Amino acid sequence: MIIFPAIDLKEGQCVRLLEGRMDSATVYSRDPGGTARNWQEQGASFIHVVDLDGAFAGKPRNREAIRQILEAVEVPVQVGGGIRDLETMEELFSMGVNRVILGSAAILKPELVAEAGRRYGAKVLVGIDARDGRVAIQGWGETVSKTALQLAREVKELGVQRIVFTDIRRDGRLSGPNLGATGELARDSGLKVIASGGVSSLEDIRAVKALEKDGVEGAIVGKALYTGAVKLPEALALARGGV
């Protein structure tokens, strides 16, 4: 199982939000590149980056911070937030981004998801963010009628192989991930799933790892790393099969 340290960018700074609310941002670092380097030095094999401003604006707003991260590390980096066209994807790939994550576009522009899948294959993921089971888009500001499972099945038909699933109610609360919904989504969709939102302890990571048999292949960890509730080397050892 892969542990993805999360770097959420707001105005060039590394922050964490509570349930996706921009007015709840806590700044943890003003050095995105240094933060990424720190996670790499502690053993991270993949970095997860979200352009929060981009998610709300509908186009990337933190290119310079993303560039700093890419220059600071050698491990692969996946980026989401405000990616709504092929030109933006091409720009990010040319900068050195390994994978891009489409969010609102999966609802607003399914034809883009299909074309991106044809062009870039496994380099394109879809982020499915759910509030009480329903999909949230536009920086989590709008909830639509479609369920997470309905959207997962639709993007699979479009050629997507892997999704990032976030339960918004758990995000930033250190209350534990929604294991039931995550496992069910993986089993019922047949997609590879990266769990996101709420990881607060090594016990949570152990619980997510138990879902590997269902198709859950990783966990994104944010606030718990920044507060010290979870130590990255310990999380990585557990994810590799330790106890």
Set 51, 53, 129, 167: catalytic member: 129
Residue found by looking up tokens 């062009």 in the block: 119
Set 8, 51, 53, 171: catalytic member: 8
Strands 216-221 vs 192-196: parallel, antiparallel or unpaired: parallel
Q: How many CB atoms lie within 10 A of CB 102?
A: 25
85 catalytically annotated = no
Q: Amino acid identity, residue 18?
A: L
Distance CA 61, CA 210 (A): 37
31 catalytically annotated = no
Distance CA 40, CA 32 (A): 12
Q: How many CB atoms lie within 10 A of CB 63?
A: 17
Torsions phi, psi of 235, nearest 5? -65, -40
Contact 125, 166 (CB under 8 A): no
Q: Show which residues are catalytic.
A: 8, 129
